[in-house]
Structure 1
């Protein structure tokens, strides 16, 4: 009889940092470790022994790195009776130091992904993974699907997971500063107070560019306002904050069909750098 798991295993993520040069593999943790051993041992022979590999394997790895890098990272220095030594060039030393710095950031990022990204009970938030805090309750990770330039402002259309579309209006300067272009990944943020809810609007027209139909999931009443959580058609959740009077006038309740209206100028965009 097969043993039944007591609980669902926790999902995680892993990854290794690689350096490439014009798309060719320069090295990862193992090769950088070999370079570090060369620094510590002063020769490829001793570095190979310390690293637990053959001299040929060590030399082949060093030779490959030298060729792919376009200039030597490791050089031999002739000597007398001692037979000379091997050391890193200035560029090799800088590369090794930079790799250590980037690898520390990479490990931290993978750790945050493992902790936050694969909890399937929660919506994915890039800002949460990056440990970025913002007052905007609604955060969406999307891709620029269209960019329409204007004389002063640009219209940016985003496609979110599930196919939902969102339009933002930003200045031309912001488009350039953020490096926005089609297929660029971006984070869209909307303050909950800027989400307007409406019902029975099938025969009405609105100036708000973003009209997202959905279903009320929960209501959290406060002393003045009510927080409304929606399940948006096509996937994703949206939070709106409305007054108690508005919640009562709309007869908001779980299961009610509503449309969230968001002006394009109220959509803030952010990119990772």
Structure 2
């Protein structure tokens, strides 16, 4: 049995992939269950997400390793044709179901223990969040300034930098934003502008963070340019390759990551 701990979405902090003999997984046993229910490999394969050929190859490979057939086929007659599980297959299926139940009970018990450790549980939930936004920053809300239509939210991130987000007042109320609450900030890389030299000008964008370019990842059309702030936070900007070449962007160069408060999305637990 192999158990791989992982973090899942929502309130679940633990997940596990149960595998027998290093290769018999949930999908394989779903195939066995479908054969038992339908009496047809063709229908069972579709149910379990295999091709007909793929299902046969898997069953034959497992039977060879077990040195016992896992299915038997009928040839018609009074009882009709079809496919049935052998006693060896039922034995495996029963063991799988028992182990699955024990595995779920174990995970439930361990998750209850994790939830008694707020710092660890909070860390896992932050890591668990899945989004396409390239920049995901965890921090603590230190100020909420409501207005008739929009609300300004200030969040301090590790390193001491303060990021300002502007959200609708309705959203701020719905999320119950308040000082001291943990939050995750989402900023698309396309919303981040890099400035190398302000040339005496000042920008209206509320968020401006100076750092050093630590990585330039070139793509077919655009590049991802990472700026590392003094506190260790990384901000990624999506920059066209033409701009990378024109500005001669390179690792080690000082740069300022700039983005508007309206470009920052705020997420909170609950």
1:209 matched to 2:206? The reply is: yes
Tell me if the contact between 2:144 and 2:178 (Cα under 8 Å) persists in the aligned partners: yes
Tell me if the contact between 1:127 and 1:133 (Cα under 8 Å) persists in the aligned partners: no
Give the unaligned 5+ runs of structure 2. 1-105
Q: 1:154 is matched with which residue?
A: 151
Task: Pick from 106, 112, 116 the counterpart of residue 106 of structure 1.
Answer: 112
SS in 2 for 1:258: strand
State the alpha-carbon separation in 1 of the partners of residues 107 and 221 from structure 2. Answer: 49
Q: 2:252 is matched with which residue?
A: 255
The more displaced of 257-266 and 139-148 is 139-148
1:193 matched to 2:193? The reply is: no
Task: Pick from 142, 152, 158 the counterpart of residue 139 of structure 2.
Answer: 142
- How far did 1:230 drift? 1.4
Q: 2:126 is matched with which residue?
A: 127
> What TM-score results when the alignment is normalised by the length of structure 1?
0.55
State the alpha-carbon separation in 2 of the partners of residues 161 and 126 from structure 1. Answer: 17
1:177 matched to 2:174? The reply is: yes
Distance 1:126 1:199, change over 3 A: farther
- How far did 1:127 drift? 3.0
Tell me if the contact between 2:114 and 2:120 (Cα under 8 Å) persists in the aligned partners: no
Distance 1:127 1:220, change over 3 A: same
Tell me if the contact between 2:216 and 2:225 (Cα under 8 Å) persists in the aligned partners: yes
> What TM-score results when the alignment is normalised by the length of structure 2?
0.55
Tell me if the contact between 2:114 and 2:121 (Cα under 8 Å) persists in the aligned partners: no
SS in 2 for 1:255: coil
State the alpha-carbon separation in 1 of the partners of residues 200 and 112 from structure 2. Answer: 52
CA deviations 1:112-139 (Å, max 9, x no partner) are x97996xxxxxxx8532xx221001111
Q: 2:265 is matched with which residue?
A: 268
SS in 1 for 2:226: strand
Distance 1:126 1:206, change over 3 A: farther
CA deviations 1:143-194 (Å, max 9, x no partner) are 1111111110001011111101100000111111111011111111111111
Tell me if the contact between 1:212 and 1:233 (Cα under 8 Å) persists in the aligned partners: no
RMSD: 2.8
How many residue pairs match? The answer is 164
- How far did 1:110 drift? 8.3
Distance 1:248 1:152, change over 3 A: same
Distance 1:252 1:187, change over 3 A: same
State the alpha-carbon separation in 2 of the partners of residues 211 and 159 from structure 1. Answer: 14
Distance 1:110 1:255, change over 3 A: farther
Give the unaligned 5+ runs of structure 1. 1-99, 118-124
Tell me if the contact between 1:126 and 1:141 (Cα under 8 Å) persists in the aligned partners: no
